[in-house]
Amino acid sequence: MADPADRLTVTRHDGGVTVAWEGPYRDYPEYAMIAEFVPYMLLMLAGSGAGRRLTPVWVGLPRRPPTAPERLAALYDTRRVEYEAAHPSITFAEADIDAPLPRADPALAAILDNHAQLSTAAARPVRGWLDRFHAALESAVADGPPGLDQVARRLAMSPRTLQRRLRDEGSSWREELEKLRQRRVDRLLRETTLSVESIATRVGFTDPRALRRAIHRWYGHGPAAIRASGPM
């Protein structure tokens, strides 16, 4: 179980096979602990599949070298721990990766593969991160003008992480608020008989003139044309 934003990258090279992890928690105070845990979790999962304890070729951590490295050497069962890496990672020997799984069952694998294909064909699309952000933003409007901290809490992340994730999507908090206002204004004009003054108050504009200027900026014409076009 993990955040949908988690990403594992598997790279095969001369030194073996490296599994690197990227997650959305870099700005969290607990990130150093999370980064230490990930290679250990991958080591335990790999050992469970192999049916024996595996010794990694090396482990990469984004933290600075500790004053007492013995704890990490014991945790990963190797003294080859490299620090200040871009992402936490663990490298396994090529022989360990290519070794057959001792409890492998070809018949069961075929059944599971068929089940996976059927399940994938019938699955509904999963909402992406930006879809979840928009849902949280729309939900926050019920409590008044949404704030960055408020929406970040709904998504279980820090405000800095939320801003960074929006930048990664080619957007920003300010742009998303502008789009939210536009969607709300468009809906109220098309689906209600509220006056422009009432809509301006509901959506958070200082006065009706500010709303009219925004509508001209968005559509190139005034609110009357939108209202006359009716519901979409």
Say whether both 52 and 92 belong to one domain: yes
Specify if 111 maps to a domain: no
- Residue 161 domain-assigned? yes
| Structural domain that includes position 193 | 175-232
* 119 lies in some domain: no
Has residue 103 been placed in a domain?
A: no
Q: How far is CA 74 from CA 46, 79, 80, in A?
A: 17, 8, 11
Supply the pLDDT for residue 3: 65
Q: Per the structure, how many domains does the chain have? A: 3
**Count of C-beta atoms within a 10 Å radius of residue 147:** 14
Do the domain assignments include residue 110? no
Q: Is residue 229 one of the residues assigned to a domain? A: yes
**Cross-sheet strand order for the sheet of 81-82:** 7-13, 16-22, 89-92, 58-60, 81-82
The pLDDT of residue 232: 64
What secondary structure letter does DSSP report for 195?
A: -
- pLDDT higher than 60, residue 49: yes
DSSP category for residue 180: H
Amino acid symbol at 153: R
Residue 115 lies in a domain: no
What pLDDT was estimated at residue 4? 65
CATH assignment at residue 180:
1.10.10.60
| Co-location of 186 and 227 in the same domain | yes
State which of 45, 80, 98 marks the end of a domain: 98
- For residues 131 and 93, membership in a common domain is answered with no
Percentage of the chain lying above the pLDDT 90 cut: 53
Which one of 81, 98, 115 terminates a domain?
A: 98
Q: Is 116 part of a structural domain of the chain?
A: no
Nearest to 18 by CA among 79, 97, 84: 97
* 182-203 tens-digit pLDDT: 998 999 998 999 999 999 888 8
Q: Is the domain of 84 the same as that of 27?
A: yes
Residue 126 binned pLDDT confidence (cut-offs 50, 70, 90): low
147 and 213 inside one domain? no
Q: Is 219 in the same domain as 156?
A: no
Residues 130 and 154 in one domain: yes
pLDDT at 43: 96
Q: Are residues 129 and 80 in the same domain?
A: no
Task: For residues 209 and 22, give the distance between their C-alpha atoms in angstroms, rounded to a whole number.
Answer: 47
